[in-house]
Amino acid sequence: MSVDGDAGYIDEGLDVQAVISWLRQHQILLTGLIMIAAQLAWKAQLLTQLYFTQDDFFNLDVAIQSHLNWHYLTFNSAGNMVIGTQLITWVLARISLYDWGLAASVVFVLLACSCFAALRLLRTLFGDRPMILVALAVYLLTPLTVPDFGWWSAAIESVPLQLAIFMALNAHVWYLRTGRARHLVAA
């Protein structure tokens, strides 16, 4: 492998200058993705130290004893009626009851999607400006989400809500900019 000093090309066809140029053009996005990866690694490590709590056992027990019907999906537990949460709990109870690894994986995937949606919204609103990384860091590191994250029943309610808010806001901004009905429907 030899490098042509004048053009910056490696004999095999890799254009080093183009790669460097691409990295410079996308440095805000790449930095955001690195921040998200670091936060996900931290939260994954946190999840390995946790387990179900009393409400989680109750919800899983109700799920395993119930049929998947409208009555179960709209079951009001302690003032909370969250159809999506009930569905996730029912499916997980059927796949593997009290499997913390599976339950934590669901929360982890939802968290990853929420983080990517937050970055997407910030880029949609403000473009690739360095200041969006400050806003992203506030979201990624806020201590307000840590207690919910450690309580499975709360996490599967709050993390999808965060994801939905970021996605709906992004779709709404695109609707306002373009006027396309598909963005309105998505919002």
Average pLDDT across each block of 10 residues of the chain; the chain has 187 residues. List them in order.
50 76 86 96 91 88 90 75 86 92 94 96 94 95 77 88 94 92 87
What pLDDT is attached to residue 164?
94
- DSSP per-residue string spanning the chain: --EETTTTEETTS-BHHHHHHHHHHTHHHHHHHHHHHHHHHHHHHHHHT----HHHHHHHHHHHHS-SSHHHHT--BTTB--HHHHHHHHHHHHH-TT-HHHHHHHHHHHHHHHHHHHHHHHHHHH-S-THHHHHHHHHHH-TTHHHHHTSHHHHHHHHHHHHHHHHHHHHHHHHHHH--HHHHHH-
- The answer to whether residues 161 and 61 touch, using CB atoms and an 8 Å cutoff, is no
What pLDDT is attached to residue 1?
47
- DSSP per-residue string spanning 142-174: -TTHHHHHTSHHHHHHHHHHHHHHHHHHHHHHH
The CB density around residue 104, as the number of other CB atoms within 10 Å, is 21
What pLDDT is attached to residue 20?
83
What pLDDT is attached to residue 19?
80
